[in-house]
Structure 1
Amino acid sequence: MNEEWRDWTRLNLSRGCNPVELVDILRRNGFGTKVIKAVMKDKFPADYRAPDEIDYPALARCALARDPASVGAEALDDQRLQLFVLKDFLSAAECEGVMALMDSKLRPSTVTTGNLHYGYRTSSTCDLGRMVSPLIRDIDQKIARTLGVNVAWSEEIQGQKYLVGQEFKAHTDYFQPQSAEYEKFAGARGQRSWTFMIYLNTTEAGGATRFTKIERDFLPAQGTAVIWNNLLDDGTPNPMTEHHGMPVEKGYKSIITKWFRDRGEGPLAG
C-alpha cells in the first residue's frame, strides 16, 4: 500500500470513521486483508466478514498446487512464488493446429496500462477464445481441468506470436491495485490469479520467459506449459511474478496465454 492510501486510512481512522466501511473501500481498491490489517493494526475490526469474501487460500491450493505430480507437473523449488512446469501438455499436432488458427487472425498486441512507451510490447495477438473451434474449446477445458479452477473464473484464451527482435518487457499479469487499470479491468471481474502459458513451438534462439525477481529463465519448448499464481494466499499481488518475454533472436515464438480471475460464476473448482 502506498503512502497516499496509508495516510488516507490513518486520517479516516482518526476521524472516527467506521472501520468496517474503511476495510470495504480498501478491498474494493484491490488491497488484501493482510495488507489492510498491517496498516490498521488494532483498529482492524476483529469480527470483519466481507459479504463477498474470496477464499484466497483455496485458490492458492487448487488441484494442481495440491498434487502437481498427478498431472506430471514439477513445482519450482522457490518459496517466493507458486510456479509449475508441465512438459508435453499439448501434442505437436495440437500446437501446430493452434498456430495455424492464430496466423489467420493476428493483430498488434496491446497492454492494459496506457502510459508505456512504444516498443514495450511488440508481439502480435490472436483472440483464440472468440473463435468457433473444437480444438480451442477442448484446450480451454483441459487447462481449467488441469489447474482445478472453474473455467467460468477465467478469461478467453489468447495467442501471441513474437518474430525476431520482438519482446514483452518486464511486467506483471495482475492489475495494479489503487490504479485506473484496476478499476477498469478488475472492478467487476476480479483480480487476475493464475496464469497458464503454453509454448506452441521450440524457438531456435532467444525468446525465454525470464522471471526477473527470482532470476529464472524458461526456454520455449513445444507443448510445455509454465503456470504461476500472480497472488499470495491472502490475495495480495505477488511482485515476484514479474517476467520479461525476452527478444526472439532466431526463428519465432508462439504461445497460448490463459488468465484466471479471483472470482467467477459457480464454485471455484470446476
Structure 2
Amino acid sequence: MASLTKRKNASPQKSSGNNNNKNPTQTVASKKKQKQKKLHGLAAQDMTRSKIRNKLFLAVIIYILAGAGFLYWRGVSTSSELPPEVENEILDSYPQDVKHIEMPKNLKKPSGAGPAIEEKTQMNSNEKMSKTAPKSDKGPEKQEKNDDFQVHIQNSIKPQPMSATKQWKEIKYSKNSTASHVRIFTMDDFLSPHECDGLMKAHASHVKQHSQHHPIICFSGETTMKEYLKHFKISWVNKVSENDFTEGTYCLNETLSSKLDGKLLWSKSTSFYPGESPFSTRYSEQVEKYTGLDQRNGGKFQVTSYPENVGYKLHTDCTIENPDTRDRYATILVYLNDVVKGGETEFTELGIKIKPKKGKALLWNNMDTEGHCDVMSHHQAASVKIGKKYILQRWYYYQNFPALGLRTPAPKLPLRSHELTPRVSCDRYDSGSCRWYDEWNYDHLIDYRKMHL
C-alpha cells in the first residue's frame, strides 16, 4: 500500500513534467535563444562567404597586376645573359671616355657616321663649323686633308633578299600614290634577337652613366621654349625669356635645366660611329649588301628609346627646299623590341603605318633621284601607350662630305660641370619633340644657327 501510495503521489508529478503547457517566460526565452543561435550561424556563414569572396577578389587583382606587369615588360627584352661575342661586339660600341679614343688615320672616308646634327642641318663639314662657331668656342680643329676622299652620290635603294625566308616587302600606299618618289620596304628578322638585346643593353648602360648628371635643356628659340613650358604646365613659364639662355646659346643654364628635369617628356638617343666596334663594321656591311646603301654615305648610328606617352611629331628626315645635296637621302630603322601598344611609324601623307616588331627593318628614301626632299616622306613616331620602344637608326646622305664618318669634338658652350653632362634638344614645337642626347653638337649655338638655318 505504501508503495502504491508513492506511485499515485508520483504520478501527477510525472504527468506534470510531460505537460505541453510550459511556462510562457521559459518558452519565449527558448525561442529567442534558438533565433539568436540561428542568426549567429547565418552570420558565421556570411563571414565565411565574405572571406572567400575577399580572397577570390585579391587573387583576381594579383592576377590582373601580374598580367599587366608581364605585358608591360614584354615591351622590353630583359635578357640577362648574352653570348660573349655579342657583349664584345655591341657593348664596345659605346666608348666610356670618347676623348681617349683615337680613330685610325687610314679609315676610309666617309664610312659611316657624320657629326651630331639632328635638327635639319646638313652643312656640317668641319671647316664650316670652325667658321660659324662663336669666338668663345672655335669648334673642331680643321680636318686633316684626305687625298683619298671622293664625292659619292647615293640616289637609289636596291633591296636584296637575305635568304629565301628573309625578303624585303614593299609597302603600297593607300593614298597619294602618284605624287611621291618615296619607296618603303620592311624585312622581318633583319637583326637577331641577341643583337637587339645587346643594343638595348648597351643603350641602357650608356644612358645610366650619363643620367648621373642633370641634362642641359636647349631649344630652337625663345618662342619654342615658352610653347614647351606652357604645354607641360610649368608655372613659371612667363618668368623666363631669352635672357635665361647661357651666352651664345639657346640653352638654359644648369640651374633652370635641373628644375625642368623630370617635368618635360622626351625620348633618349645614344650614338656610336663606324670603326668603334666590330658590330658597327658588320652592320654597315650588312646594310650595304642588302639595301644598296653605300657605307661612304652613311651617318652615325643612333639607338633611341621611347618611354610611355612619348613619341616624335610629324617631320621629314631631309630638309624641304634645301639646295644643299648633303642631306639625308634614305633612312634605315630597325625595331629592337615588340611594343605592347602604340609606337607605330606612320607616313601620314601615304597612309602607311608600321607596327614595331623585334628585329624588323624599315627602309625608305626621303629624296628623289635629283636630291630634292620629297614632302610625301613626312612621318611620325606614334606615342607609346603600353611598354617601351627601342630602335636602331641610321641615315644615308645623298652626297657625302669629308666630315661624314667622324666623331667630332664637342663645343665648349654652354659651360658644363661634367664632361658626361647630357643635353636635351627641343625642336620647333609644331614640328618636333624633345630628345635627350649623350653627345653635343653645334645646333644650339646662336651664330651657327644664324649661318645655317
Which TM class, normalised by the smaller chain length? 0.5 to 0.7
Distance in 2 (CA, whole Å) between partners of 1:155 and 1:211 is 22
CA contact 1:195–1:227 (8 Å) conserved in 2: yes
Q: State the match for 2:334 in structure 1.
A: 198
Name the TM-score, length of structure 2 as normaliser. Answer: 0.40
Change (3 A) 1:130 1:105: farther
How far apart are residue 136 of structure 1 and its match?
3.1
Q: Distance in 2 between matches of 1:171 and 1:155?
A: 18
**What SS does structure 2 have at the residue aligned with 1:240?**
helix
Distance 1:201 1:137 in 2: 22
Partner of 1:122: 266
The equivalent residue for 2:195 is 94
Give the secondary structure class of the aligned counterpart of 2:282.
helix
User: Deviation at 1:69?
Assistant: 8.3
8 Å CA contact retained: 2:153, 2:399: no
Distance 1:172 1:265, change over 3 A: closer
Match status 1:172 vs 2:316: yes
Give the TM-score taking structure 1 as reference length. 0.65
User: Larger % of strand: which?
Assistant: 1
| Residue 136 to residue 164, structure 1, CA distance change in 2 (3 Å) | same
Does residue 139 of the first structure (1) align with residue 269 of the second (2)?
Answer: no
State the distance in 2 between where 1:92 and 1:238 align. 34
2:390 matched residue in structure 1: 254
Shift, 1:131, TM fit: 8.3
Alpha-carbon deviation of 1:130?
A: 6.9
- Residue identity in the other structure for 2:348: T
Contact 2:152 2:297 in 1 (8 A): no
**Where does 1:98-113 land on structure 2 (aligned, <5 Å)?**
98-106=199-207
Q: 1:121 to 1:83 in 2, by over 3 A?
A: farther
Q: How far apart, CA to CA, are the structure 1 residues paired with 2:309 and 2:376?
A: 25
Q: Where does residue 154 of structure 1 map in the other structure? A: 298
SS of 2:368's equivalent? coil
- SS of aligned partner of 1:104: helix
Q: Equivalent residue for 2:186?
A: 85
Question: Displacement, 1:153?
Answer: 0.6
Aligned counterpart for 1:163 among listed residues 295, 300, 307: 307
Unpaired runs of 5+ residues, structure 2, are 1-121, 124-149, 232-263, 403-453
Equivalent runs, 1:185-224 vs 2, <5 Å: 190-224=326-360
Q: Which amino acid aligns with 1:176?
A: I
Residues 241, 247 of structure 1: CA spacing in aligned structure 2 closer, same or farther, 3 A cutoff? Answer: same
Identity of aligned residues (%): 23
Q: Deviations over 1:226-266 (max 9, x none)?
A: 10000122222111111110100111000011000012279
Cα contact 1:102–1:128 (8 A) shared by 2:
no
- Counterpart amino acid of 1:263? Q
RMSD: 3.4
How many angstroms does 1:75 deviate by?
A: 1.0
Partner amino acid for 1:92? Answer: P
- Tell me by how many angstroms 1:149 deviates: 2.3
| Structure 1: gaps (5+ residues) | 1-28, 31-51
Alpha-carbon spacing, 1:240–1:258, altered in 2? closer, same or farther (3 Å): same
1:36 alignment counterpart: none
**1: CA distance, partners of 2:333 / 2:185:** 11
Aligned partners of 2:273, 2:389: CA distance in 1, in Å? 19
Contact 1:74 1:85 in 2 (8 A): yes
Which of 235, 242, 261 matches 2:371? Answer: 235
Q: Could you give the per-residue CA deviations for residues 107-139 of structure 1, whole angstroms, max 9, x where no partner exists?
A: 7999x9925553898210011327833223322
| Partner-residue secondary structure (3-state), 1:63 | coil
Q: Residue 157 of structure 1: CA displacement?
A: 0.7
Q: Which residue of 2 aligns with 1:74?
A: 169
Contact 1:152/1:265, CA 8 A, preserved across alignment: no
